[in-house]
């Protein structure tokens, strides 16, 4: 059966070059980076080289990169440190953040009684920057703003420079879950006022179970995983050497030809949008996902004009992998918290599907999806 994978916002296929890097490391770089003998020192040297390489992509120092088991752990590390160790008593966020942020905030409320303020959103899920500034002005409490760079369900791009500037103006810390941005967009931290961001390798054709946190120099950070002094004391546990090297390789490949590949994926996305408009009446696009300037070229969230209860299931039977929201929501009966927040009650009941693309997709695959959608819907 033909297989078409359009769920790249959930995870991306490993590239052959990355698999080679990982397997060679597994075969040859078996030392513990904390060991003082030659075999251990070799592993340590390669991990530190990977750290330097990753740091260069964002114009930061290697000491500001902390390797983690992925974006969720990195979000937890930063948010919990902000409250426990940095004196933050107020977090400003939005109700359409990833659950790695939302659930961590919920637990911080229960544990420490922090104040949480939710920034207003437009009907398209964009941040109301005027309201954000008003929240920053409200009192003298120590604040942290946590807003994701690119929404993982609707693809909206945050004006990260503007938000960072507001945080600097009002002396608030700024954290961004950049999991959907790293490897797909270039950004220079020296030109972007931000204190923390997180990334996950499997979103840019790297391995699962590894990611990193950027933590601005001078900000004290303490571990939430205890047991050793790895990662300069910020995160205990023997480093996942082969995965870190695979992440470094994947990020290098992602940024080597980014402009060309981004343009090609955007062209594919635009083609899909036009085919949907030409073949289906009443189609809508959630968030700003059909807007080339305001949305990630990776993500398209499509709302069909009524409920098709078995559409995802039937697409899967045809070999087409897509999502009704984030992968983290797949076991939930409540639907997408993002769409439930920004859509009317009536629209939220309609079937919405997230299609997400990579450089491995083709127009032939798009045509195959359109043909199957026409059969299943009509």
* Whole-angstrom distance, CA of residue 119 vs CA of residue 134: 9
Considering the candidates 116, 283, 328, 370, report the single residue annotated as catalytic: 328
Q: Answer yes or no: 167 catalytic.
A: no
* Whole-angstrom distance, CA of residue 255 vs CA of residue 9: 18
Contact 172, 144 (CB under 8 A): yes
Q: What is the DSSP string of 94-133?
A: -TTS-HHHHHHHHHHHHHH--EEEEPPB-TT--B-HHHHH
In 165-270, where do the E strands start and end? Answer: 173-177, 196-200, 211-215
Half-sphere exposure of 343 (CA within 13 A, CB side): 23
DSSP conformation class of 7: B
CB neighbours (10 Å) of residue 244? 28
CB neighbours (10 Å) of residue 81? 23
Contact 286, 339 (CB under 8 A): yes
Any idea which residues carry the catalytic annotation? Answer: 328
């Amino acid at each position: 059966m033909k297989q078409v994978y359009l769920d790249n916002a959930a995870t991306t296929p490993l590239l052959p070059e990355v698999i080679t890097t990982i397997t060679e490391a597994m075969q040859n770089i078996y030392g513990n980076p904390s060991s003082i003998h030659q075999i251990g020192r070799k592993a340590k040297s390669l991990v530190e080289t990977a750290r330097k390489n990753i740091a260069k992509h964002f114009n930061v120092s290697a000491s500001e990169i902390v390797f983690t088991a992925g974006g969720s752990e990195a979000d937890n590390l930063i948010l919990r440190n902000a409250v426990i160790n940095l004196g933050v008593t107020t977090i400003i966020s939005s109700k359409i953040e990833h659950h790695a942020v939302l659930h961590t905030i919920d637990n911080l409320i229960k544990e420490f009684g922090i104040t949480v303020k939710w920034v207003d959103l437009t009907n398209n899920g964009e941040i109301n920057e005027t309201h954000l500034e008003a929240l920053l002005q409200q009192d003298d409490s120590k604040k942290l703003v946590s807003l994701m760079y690119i929404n993982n369900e609707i693809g909206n791009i945050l004006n990260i420079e503007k938000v960072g500037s507001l945080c600097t103006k009002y002396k608030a810390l700024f954290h961004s879950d950049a999991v959907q941005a790293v490897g797909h967009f270039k950004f220079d931290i020296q030109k972007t006022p931000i204190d923390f961001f997180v990334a996950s390798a499997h979103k840019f054709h790297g391995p699962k179970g590894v990611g990193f946190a950027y933590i601005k120099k001078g900000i004290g950070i303490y571990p939430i995983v205890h047991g050793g002094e790895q990662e300069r004391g910020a995160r205990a546990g023997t480093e996942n050497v082969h995965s870190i090297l695979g992440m470094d390789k994947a990020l290098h490949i992602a940024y080597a030809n980014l402009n060309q590949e981004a343009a090609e994926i955007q062209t594919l996305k635009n083609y899909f949008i036009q085919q949907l408009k030409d073949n289906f009446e009443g189609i809508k696009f959630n968030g700003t996902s059909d807007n080339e300037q305001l949305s990630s070229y990776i993500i398209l969230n499509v709302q069909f004009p009524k409920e098709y209860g078995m559409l995802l299931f039937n697409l899967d039977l045809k070999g087409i992998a897509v999502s009704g929201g984030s992968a983290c929501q797949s076991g939930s009966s409540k639907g997408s918290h993002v769409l439930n927040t920004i859509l009317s009650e009536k629209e939220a009941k309609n079937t919405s599907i997230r299609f997400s693309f990579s450089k491995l997709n083709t127009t032939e695959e798009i045509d195959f999806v359109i043909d199957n959608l026409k059969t299943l819907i009509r």
